[in-house]
Amino acid sequence: MSNSFGNLFTLTTFGESHGPAIGGVIDGCPAGITLDLEAIQHELDRRKPGQSKITTQRKEPDQVEFLSGIFEGKTTGTSIGFQIKNTNQKSKDYSHNVDVYRPSHADYTYDQKYGIRDHRGGGRSSARETANWIVGGAVAKAILRDIKITAFTSSVGDIFIDKPYQALNFSEIEKNMVRCADPNIAEQMIKHISEVKKNGDTVGGTITCVIQNVPAGLGEPIFNKLHAELGKAMLSINAVKGFEYGSGFCGAKMKGSDHNDLFNPDGSTKTNLSGGIQGGISNGMDIYFRVAFKPVATLIQKQNTIDASGNVVEMQGRGRHDPCVVPRAVPIVEALSAMVMADAYLLSRARS
């Protein structure tokens, strides 16, 4: 089931950017969880287009409607259906795309796989799908209570935060439009994105995510290791090209005598190059990881490409695309992390 995520806490989704609605079904949520519908909508607002000058100027309210599974403000233990209506489906905008394969998009591969394709706005491969994930993640967060998940933009192009996350003030993140945890770096990032946008170009970046207050013992030891589930989740996000946790790729350059995390008598560790996970199972320290996003493929510049018959054609994106996907991807990283953690938490209860 390629449209389902999770094992015990699951999200199954549907929808194209240009149909009447997107939506999904959340299954496996325990009964009796209080859902704060405003908080859920707030998460959607963090992802929605048009929220600042450095995101796409497309306007879409992204209003979620719950259709089942909630009674008098609490989950009933039955499946939670929801939908988000599409209100901004200017199909005509995409008529120029009918037969054209946009470079570094999924147009060509969908045609190769399915032999048929809804060419309007990327169809199912549109990042609009991630609005569904926000809803799933917001419900997952209500299960997790004490576990705190915080993501932020850690680099845009060559500009990066040069401090460990422990030195950052997470309350700064939502104060700037690029969602960087360092206000000075944030300004540089915003300036850089603005310039890139002016040139009709796009730029990549990275997001760092920190998961705190995780009890020891979550995760599975062999094939569904906690970091492997997190990695798979992150690699599900459009434009993601890499994932590392703890010491990550830097760890590959290190010696064991520098890398080992020595224990304190209470079981915590003096350092945390492990990233809060040993053998696939949480050890009670902070879990942290970093996700790499490539630059958005849609440029407001002319590019040569081909159509379905192999003819070379010239194309140019219209003006409603993100110059950098990273700021709007921050809540998506959090949402998928929350779903992974809720799944691991529920599974740990079955086994305990």
Residues in 70-99 that interact with its own copies by CB under 8 A:
71, 74-81, 83
Kindly state whether residue 31 participates in binding its own copies, applying the rule CB under 8 A.
yes
Q: Which is nearer to its own copies, 49 or 69 (CB)?
A: 69
Site for its own copies in 244-263 (CB under 8 A): 244-249, 251-263
Q: In DSSP terms, which residues pair with 11 in a beta bridge? A: 5, 26
Question: How many residues sit in the footprint of its own copies (CB under 8 A)?
Answer: 147
Q: Which helix (H) or strand (E) holds 70?
A: strand 70-71
Kindly state whether residue 65 participates in binding its own copies, applying the rule CB under 8 A.
yes
CA dist 320 and 219 (Å) reads 40
DSSP 3-state of 221: coil
Residue 317 CB, shortest distance to its own copies, in Å, is 10
Query: What's the length of the chain?
Result: 352
Residue 73 CB, shortest distance to its own copies, in Å, is 11
Residue 152 CB, shortest distance to its own copies, in Å, is 15
- Are residues 292 and 144 in contact, defined by beta-carbon separation less than 8 angstroms? no
Taking CB under 8 A as the binding criterion, the range among 27-35, 89-97, 141-149, 165-173 that sits at the site for its own copies is 27-35
Q: Residues 30, 148, 191, 286: which binds its own copies (CB under 8 A)?
A: 30
Q: Residues 298, 327, 328, 333: which binds its own copies (CB under 8 A)?
A: 298
- Are residues 341 and 149 in contact, defined by beta-carbon separation less than 8 angstroms? yes
Residue 130 CB, shortest distance to its own copies, in Å, is 10
Site for its own copies in 303-342 (CB under 8 A): 303-306, 310-312
CA dist 270 and 181 (Å) reads 24
Tokens of 351: 């086994």
Displacement of CA 104 from its chain's centroid (Å): 19
CA dist 282 and 314 (Å) reads 51
Taking CB under 8 A as the binding criterion, the range among 139-147, 182-190, 289-297, 327-335 that sits at the site for its own copies is 289-297
Please calculate the CA angle 14-16-20 and round it to the nearest 5 degrees.
90
Site for its own copies in 180-239 (CB under 8 A): 196, 201-206, 216-225, 227-229, 231-233, 235-236, 238
Site for its own copies in 117-146 (CB under 8 A): 117-118, 123-125, 129
| Radius of gyration from C-alpha coordinates of the chain | 21
- Are residues 118 and 124 in contact, defined by beta-carbon separation less than 8 angstroms? yes
DSSP 3-state of 269: strand
Kindly state whether residue 177 participates in binding its own copies, applying the rule CB under 8 A.
no
Q: Residues 95, 166, 314, 350: which binds its own copies (CB under 8 A)?
A: 350
